[in-house]
């Protein structure tokens, strides 16, 4: 009877294979089995911040409260290329001034956000370094096995009317397989 199975598969391929793929894709958008309704377990969250990030909205705090007990890493990455460009054009001293100012800004920003997150039962870790905002966030997510990325849509640069998320965020989400919340 194997001959019939092959015949049926050939006929199915000829009649409807492509149409079926399209239909199942549509169904997948709103048909979930009970086990798929269960939220994935989140134990570690990465939140990259910078001067473009802006305020964390109240709704996001509410969402994060669902992950009470998880650890949150607030990371501030100073863009290496920007500092190198300043060094080339204005000199080492100016670049150092800018780096210090950025680090100070980062500390202030973390101090502002951390207590609020702590109130939600989240454990806070802080990191700041010089690197690439997009590449290093992707690397951290993959190497340190974070379960969730929470990022501002304007992280890394201003958003424009034509692009609702910054190019940095766009690059990050295109490279990640883990869940992402964009605020």
Q: Which is nearer to other proteins, 16 or 111 (CB)?
A: 16
Interface mask (CB under 8 A) for other proteins, residues 27-66, using x and -? Answer: x-xxx-xx--x-----------------------------
Number of residues in contact with other proteins, rule: CB under 8 A? Answer: 26
Reduced to 3 states (helix: H, G, I; strand: E, B; else coil), residue 157 is: coil
Q: How far is the CB of 23 from other proteins (least distance, A)?
A: 6
Cα–Cα separations (whole angstroms), residue 114 to 21, 25, 69, 158: 46, 41, 14, 24
Q: Among the candidate windows 13-21, 107-115, 127-135, 148-156, which touches other proteins by CB under 8 A?
A: 13-21
Q: How far apart, in whole angstroms, are the C-alpha atoms of residue 133 and residue 6? A: 52
Residue 101 interacting with other proteins (CB under 8 A): no
Would you list the DSSP string of 41-72? Answer: P--EEEEEE-TTT-PPPHHHHHHHGGGTT-EE
N- to C-terminal Cα distance for the chain?
Answer: 56
Q: Which is nearer to other proteins, 4 or 39 (CB)?
A: 4
Cβ atoms of 168 and 157 within 8 Å: the answer is yes
Residue ranges that bind other proteins, judged by CB under 8 A:
1, 4-5, 7-17, 19-20, 23-24, 26-27, 29-31, 33-34, 37
């Amino acid at each position: 009877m194997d001959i019939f199975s092959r015949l049926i598969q050939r006929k199915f391929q000829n009649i409807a294979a492509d149409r079926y793929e399209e239909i199942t894709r549509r169904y997948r958008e709103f048909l979930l089995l009970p086990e798929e309704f269960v939220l994935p377990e989140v134990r570690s969250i990465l939140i990259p911040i910078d001067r473009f990030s802006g305020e964390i909205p109240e709704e996001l705090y509410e969402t994060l409260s669902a992950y009470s007990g998880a650890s949150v890493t607030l990371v501030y990455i100073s863009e290496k290329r920007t500092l190198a460009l300043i060094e080339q054009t204005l000199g080492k001293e100016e670049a150092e001034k800018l780096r210090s100012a950025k680090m100070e800004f980062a500390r202030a920003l973390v101090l502002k956000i951390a207590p609020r997150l702590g109130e939600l039962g989240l454990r806070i870790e802080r990191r700041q370094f010089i690197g690439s905002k997009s590449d290093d966030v992707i690397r951290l997510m993959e190497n340190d096995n974070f379960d969730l990325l929470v990022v501002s849509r304007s992280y890394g640069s201003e958003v424009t009317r034509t692009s609702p998320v910054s190019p940095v965020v766009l690059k990050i989400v295109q490279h990640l397989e883990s869940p992402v919340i964009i605020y």
